Amino acid sequence: MRAETAGAGARTEPVRWDEEQGVWQVSGFAEASAVLRGEGWSSDPRRLPFAPPELADFPQGVLLFMDPPDHTRMRRLLSPAFTPRAVESLRPRVVDIVEAVLRGLDDETDLLRDVAYLIPVAVIAELLDVGDEGAALLLELTPELVRMLETDAGAADLMAAATAATELMLFLTPLLAERRGRPGDDFISAMLAVPDGLSLDEIAGTCVLLLAAGHETTANLIANSVLALLRDPAQRDLLQADPRRAVEELLRVEGPIKQVFRAALSDHEIAGHRIRAGEAVQVRIREANRSLGPLDLGREPLPHLAFGGGMHYCLGAALARMEAIEALPRIFTRFPRMTLRDHGRRESATFHALTNLRVSGLR
């Protein structure tokens, strides 16, 4: 998909029409909230006027791209696996994973590659109960699967993501058959056991989304947060004092998503602008969140859109929060002399992300 660029510099207009891209750009916090939380919007990228034809061949059953009534039904079936109680039961295992990852580090390392990416993929592998082989495959497939979430994805990106999704499904197919006959205490078994039934496409789509969105976003949240605190050491004590509050502020300012698209299903008026049915809206989540103020881990939490809003509020939000809450304080407690060596920003229309985060002083 084109219409990708999020221009440099702060914008003063909360809503503006971009003639070159042919989209409405929404960067004000109240206005972005209204789009994400309101009715009459579609998250199906195939509805966008600039959607590439290859989207028609993309795997179905991905919750993120669904609209009601399919979205309503599927979210209702999946929600029990992500309740606060269900997620809380994973905390001891998440702590074990974080501790194991941190124990394995050398004095100098790429924290993005060796920590931020490893923690969420290990948690997902635990959720699916796919073992070390499965975890290695998930880590390998993530970069290709993530390409489907880029708002500027082209034909090559979608084909690569579809190929990776097929490879993931080939790995999962025998597991689905096995768990259907001998269910375990895992997410795949839970999906197979829902009373109203999820189709195989929907189960596959959910696994794809769990990996593409759940892994990539959590990894980037952890890496972005570490970088921010390495640059501003005075705020590290505030992280240790109240990790939950600190993570909410880090989600607001260093959250992993820059923007999402919506297609108008009906006419809307936002900030005095008429947005007509069929037009595309670029919701600039990062700009909207940052418009409320700079990073301050000591403040009372401000509202944010890091997990979206409304019917598409991130189903895995509680899990992502927990991973960050358990990982970030432990990183700085275990490595108090850690210093930044180098880092690179990833060129991405969708993700606020790094290419590397090299640190030293770990031993």
Q: Which residues contact 153 (CB under 8 A, 6 or more apart)?
A: 1, 52, 147, 161
Percentage of the chain with pLDDT > 70? 95
Q: Tell me, what's the pLDDT at 83?
A: 86
Taking alpha carbons only, the member of 242, 351, 354, 363 closest to residue 6 is 351
Span 74-101, pLDDT tens digits: 888 888 888 888 899 999 999 999 999 9
Which structure tokens are listed for 34? Answer: 């209204």
How high is the pLDDT of residue 9?
Answer: 42
Average pLDDT of span 165-176: 91
Is residue 177 scored above 80 in pLDDT?
A: yes
CATH number of 15-360: 1.10.630.10
Angle between helices 317-334 and 243-254 (to 10 degrees): 110
- Mean of the per-residue pLDDT values for the chain? 91
pLDDT bin (cut points 50, 70, 90) of residue 52 is confident
Do residues 123 and 318 touch, judged by C-beta distance below 8 A?
no
Beta strands 23-26 and 280-283 are: parallel
The stretch 137-161 carries a mean pLDDT of 90
pTM: 0.93
Closest among 144, 159, 150, 145 to 3, alpha carbons compared: 150
Digit-coded pLDDT (tens) for 288-311: 999 999 999 999 989 999 999 999
Provide CB contacts within 8 A for 118, sequence distance 6+. 101, 139
Task: Show me where the domains of the chain are located.
Answer: 15-360
Does position 347 have pLDDT exceeding 60, yes or no?
A: yes
